[in-house]
Structure 1
Amino acid sequence: MGSFKGQRLQADILKALTIIFQREFLNSRYIKTLTIHEVRLTSDKRIAKIFYSTYDVNAKLENVEAEINKHLKYIKKMLAQKISARIMPEIIFVYDTALDNANRIEKLLKGDQ
């Protein structure tokens, strides 16, 4: 996303989702533990991929994804109230494996297997 408006919208979505997860999901098992790493909008701004991880080391990815999907409509509604976009992009949550990969590489380099 090269345009200034696109970059601004990506930043707004990231900020808004972080606030939503912290304030609206206090009783959630997994959503309150999510960290948004990056938001990528398509060039037409209709789809936003949300790259996330969780700091709950005991969380199983399928349980986290199930909880996200369970609350997806509510997350979208809250996001639409917090950002100013002509068209609300469809949001797709994608687990970010970069941290897992970095940790695995670090273990290999240290000789821990």
Structure 2
Amino acid sequence: MAGFERQARVADRIRVVLSERLQKGLRDPRLGFVTITDVRVTGDLQMASVFYTVYGTDEEREGTAAALKAATGLLRSEVGRQLNTRLTPTLEFIPDGLPEEASHLSELLREARERDAQVHSLAENASYAGDEDPYKDDDEA
């Protein structure tokens, strides 16, 4: 459908415009090292959810969230100037939880590999608890 293609184009263009603007910098010292990870636009192009990550401590993340909230109007007008659409979408900045989830999954995978190695080392020296073929009949012998 053409609607989904247009949503994707608008979302990609918003991501590029915001990334370029944030790369130039804002005059807010609270703004940390921000990466725009994804932008999702509603079907009517009225609302854009901007997902971002911040490299740094929790304090820097909170400061960056406050700086982005304060600069939302400036960033929206920048998007409106470069987007060339009839209506400029409202921007909502959402911290992306993907890096934390990825590190958690990496930790779980590491733990699973360690447990597999332990089980494998135990299995190397293991022997059968009973006969090799527990299902044989005494009549067959």
TM superposition score category, shorter chain reference: 0.7 to 0.9
Higher RCO (CA 8 Å, separation ≥ 6 residues): 1
Partner Cα separation in structure 1 for residue 88 and residue 66 of structure 2: 23
Answer yes or no: is the 8 Å Cα contact 1:49–1:94 preserved in 2.
Answer: yes
Q: Tell me the TM-score normalized by structure 2.
A: 0.69
Match runs of 1:88-107 below 5 Å: 88-107=88-107
5+ residue gaps, structure 1? none
Identity %: 23
Q: What does 1:21-100 align with in structure 2 at a 5 Å threshold?
A: 21-25=22-26, 28-31=29-32, 33-55=33-55, 57-60=56-59, 61-100=61-100
Q: What's the CA shift for 1:82? A: 1.7
Distance 1:27 1:44, change over 3 A: closer
Post-superposition shift, 1:83? 1.4
Aligned length: 109
**Matched residue of 2:6: which SS?**
helix
Partner of 1:18 in structure 2?
19
What is the root-mean-square deviation in Å for CA atoms of aligned residues?
2.0
For the pair shown, which has the larger CA radius of gyration, 1 or 2?
2
8 A contact 1:16–1:82 mirrored in 2:
yes
Query: Is 2:30–2:66's contact at 8 Å kept on the other side of the alignment?
Result: no
TM-score by length of 1: 0.84
